[in-house]
Amino acid sequence: MATATQNAPAQTGTPQYDAVVIGAGVAGLYQTYRLNEAGFKVKSFEAGSNVGGTWYWNRYPGARFDSEAEIYQYWFSKDMYAQWKPTERFPAQPETEQWLNHVADLHDLRKHYTFSTRVTVAHYDETKKLWTISTDKGETVTARFFISCAGMLSAPLENRFPGQDTFKGRVFHTARWPKEAIDWTGKTVGVVGTGATGIQVIQTIASKVTKLKAFVRTPQYVIPMNNPQYSEADWDKKVEGFEDLKKRVQSTFSGFEYDFANGSWHDKTPAERRAIYEHYWKDGSLALWLSAFPEVFTDEAASADISEFVREKMRERLNNDPYLCEKLIPKPSDYGFGTHRVPLESKYLEAYLRPNVEIVDCRESAIERVLPNGVQMKDGTVHEVDILVLATGFDAGSGALSRIDVRGRGGRSLKEDWGKDIRTAMGVGVHGYPNLFTTAVPLAPSAALCNMTTCLQQQVDWISNCMIRLRDKGVTEIEPTKEFEDAWVQHHDEIANATLIVKTDSWYMGSNVEGKPRRLLSYCGGVGTYRGKCDEVAAKDYEGFAMS
């Protein structure tokens, strides 16, 4: 099969590769697979020493996903789906990392990769219509297309506090966790952050350490995970449903199996609402959040109602202890359930009932700096710790690409552009940056609110099909028009601004990174709707994208 490189008209430069892909996570592996299958010459880079992406980097204690194993899957091979038999409903990190290694082995994907190598520079050459891409290892390659599968939560906020480098013990960001086991015995451990990550760390190490100091700033609404083991027979049954499930996740609001199915919150009596909440609560999944009622995201009364339900459940688990309830349960005035990412947890709240777990309230006094022996608060209190765990999150959505020197037309810088205003065309490209394709960047569901495997595969398929079409037409350059991008941003904002999410500070809004322009990262029109819009653009031969 002819490659796009071979089809390139003589006046454009002839790149070494049709495409350079960044990342060997869920998206990068599939992107590499798809382009290779389609006969493109692909070069892929990965900063880690092996495949896995999120599941390579986030090897902290307790790491696991909260999409069910039957939907956290690739859909391009039923055989592959049948072969890999997850052992539980929500498998832990080691199993997911092994699964991605299995996928790479099965399709011989590693041969396309250079590992332990970070892309640092990507400049577009308008004359030659190609990207020149350099790495931290001194390699420079050229490619017609530059495809980012760098992940939405892969730029960790590591250097959070002054003095971190003076700390005498070990300090880890959860997304840079070492491969060797950590000996917790006899240790006082500080954990900063109680997002989904900090929660998993706290619930996992509380019983292993001598003393745990949890630095809590914003408490979370949490749901207890129901995580049964899966037998081989259980999995064989799931395999029977492969085709239906594959179709279903593509059309739901969040890319999960479940969807809003209870009608309007307003049409239900309080008792009916309660029964619905209880039903999902028992399910022990994110269904309470993502399928109880759509109004949970948009309507103050519905939000208040479900929030109080979750608060009540949390109070019970904390034995109604006034101190713990005060510190660990969001107040009605804080924010509503689900306007923040909802963590699924396993005995997280119960960890605080242990005598060796102490809460350090960062709202009463903020963390000032790290000292050689611990953490100093603004009020002067020093918390001595032997190990400091930073579960402090990520520069989400835009961070991974902004940390690369990406330059488009006229040398414009993506970091500078996104530093002023984070805009994309449907999350698959950016005006001013021809032949750049993106996944898991802002203004698409894959930026935050989605079962990631569903949304990443959809974007990779769209990009791959687009590249095949361009090759068929002999087109060497594609770029979203300004008008198309403007219209998408406007559409995104209209939907976003109708939700309560925009009123809550969190990484969803970029407010966890100082100076980051505020905009809801995730497209919230629904995964099925987003897919439909992407398909429509493709069906109209990439209407809204200029080609030459």
Question: CA distances (Å), 211 to each of 135, 363, 367, 514, in order?
Answer: 42, 21, 19, 32
State the minimum distance, in angstroms, from the CB of residue 225 to ligand NAP.
Answer: 9
Nearer to ligand NAP, 393 or 442 (CB): 393
State the minimum distance, in angstroms, from the CB of residue 493 to ligand NAP.
Answer: 22
Asked whether the beta carbons of 114 and 45 are under 8 A apart, the reply is yes
Asked whether the beta carbons of 131 and 146 are under 8 A apart, the reply is yes
Give the tokens for residue 417.
């552009």
Bridge partners for 130 per DSSP: 125
CB atoms within 10 A of CB 429: 24
Residue 215 binds ligand NAP (CB under 6 A) = yes
Instruction: Report the SS3 class of residue 293.
Output: coil
Residue 218 binds ligand NAP (CB under 6 A) = yes
Nearer to ligand NAP, 197 or 291 (CB): 197
User: Phi and psi for 184 in degrees, rounded to 5?
Assistant: -90, -10
Pick the binder of ligand NAP from 195, 336, 427, 442 (CB under 6 A).
195
Site for ligand NAP, residues 485 to 544, rule: CB under 6 A: 507, 512
Give the tokens for residue 295.
């109004």
**Interface pattern 445-474 for ligand NAP (x via CB under 6 A):** ------------------------------
**Segment near ligand NAP (CB under 6 A); pick from 211-219, 319-327, 427-435, 526-534:** 211-219
Nearer to ligand NAP, 103 or 155 (CB): 155
State the minimum distance, in angstroms, from the CB of residue 391 to ligand NAP.
Answer: 5
How many DSSP H helices and E strands does the chain contain?
Answer: 18, 20
**Segment near ligand NAP (CB under 6 A); pick from 215-223, 274-282, 328-336, 405-413:** 215-223
**Segment near ligand NAP (CB under 6 A); pick from 38-46, 269-277, 387-395, 401-409:** 387-395
State the minimum distance, in angstroms, from the CB of residue 107 to ligand NAP.
Answer: 25
What are the DSSP E strand ranges found in 152-251?
Answer: 170-173, 188-192, 211-216, 223-224
Nearer to ligand NAP, 341 or 407 (CB): 341
User: Phi and psi for 119 in degrees, rounded to 5?
Assistant: -70, 125
Residue 133 binds ligand NAP (CB under 6 A) = no
State the minimum distance, in angstroms, from the CB of residue 354 to ligand NAP.
Answer: 20
Residue 198 binds ligand NAP (CB under 6 A) = yes
Bridge partners for 171 per DSSP: 388
State the minimum distance, in angstroms, from the CB of residue 260 to ligand NAP.
Answer: 20
Give the tokens for residue 528.
């099925």
User: Phi and psi for 15 in degrees, rounded to 5?
Assistant: -75, 165
User: Pick from 148, 50, 158, 57: which is nearest to 402 by CA?
Assistant: 148
Pick the binder of ligand NAP from 118, 160, 347, 469 (CB under 6 A).
160
Question: CA distances (Å), 69 to each of 194, 223, 232, 385, 547, in order?
Answer: 24, 18, 13, 37, 40
Pick the binder of ligand NAP from 148, 194, 339, 453 (CB under 6 A).
194
Pick the binder of ligand NAP from 96, 392, 451, 522 (CB under 6 A).
392
Site for ligand NAP, residues 27 to 66, rule: CB under 6 A: 64-66
Residue 72 binds ligand NAP (CB under 6 A) = no
Nearer to ligand NAP, 265 or 348 (CB): 348
Residue 352 binds ligand NAP (CB under 6 A) = no
State the minimum distance, in angstroms, from the CB of residue 363 to ligand NAP.
Answer: 8
Q: Which residues of 339-373 are buried (b: 16+ CB within 10 A; e: fewer)?
A: bbbbbbbbebbbbbeeeebebbebeeeebbebbee
Q: Which residues of 71-99 are buried (b: 16+ CB within 10 A; e: fewer)?
A: bbbbbbeeebbeebbbeebbbbbebbbeb
Overall residue count recorded for the chain in this entry: 548
Instruction: Report the SS3 class of residue 240.
Output: helix
Residue 430 binds ligand NAP (CB under 6 A) = no
Burial of 421 (0-12, 13-18, 19+ CB in 10 A): exposed
State the minimum distance, in angstroms, from the CB of residue 392 to ligand NAP.
Answer: 4
In whole angstroms, give the CA distance from residue 102 to residue 98.
6
Q: Please count the residues of this chain forming the interface with ligand NAP, following the rule CB under 6 A.
A: 25
State the minimum distance, in angstroms, from the CB of residue 360 to ligand NAP.
Answer: 9
State the minimum distance, in angstroms, from the CB of residue 334 to ligand NAP.
Answer: 10
Nearer to ligand NAP, 160 or 491 (CB): 160
CB atoms within 10 A of CB 138: 8
Pick the binder of ligand NAP from 85, 217, 315, 369 (CB under 6 A).
217
State the minimum distance, in angstroms, from the CB of residue 7 to ligand NAP.
Answer: 40
Nearer to ligand NAP, 66 or 485 (CB): 66
Site for ligand NAP, residues 258 to 297, rule: CB under 6 A: none
Asked whether the beta carbons of 292 and 262 are under 8 A apart, the reply is yes
Give the tokens for residue 403.
């940390």
In whole angstroms, give the CA distance from residue 157 to residue 145.
29
Query: To which residue do tokens 């309230």 refer?
Result: 361
Residue 15 binds ligand NAP (CB under 6 A) = no
User: Pick from 287, 246, 247: which is nearest to 89 by CA?
Assistant: 287
Residue 362 binds ligand NAP (CB under 6 A) = yes
State the minimum distance, in angstroms, from the CB of residue 197 to ligand NAP.
Answer: 3
The terminus-to-terminus CA distance of the chain in angstroms comes to 22
- Interface with ligand NAP (CB under 6 A): 64-66, 153, 160, 192-198, 200, 215, 217-218, 341, 362, 367, 391-394, 507, 512
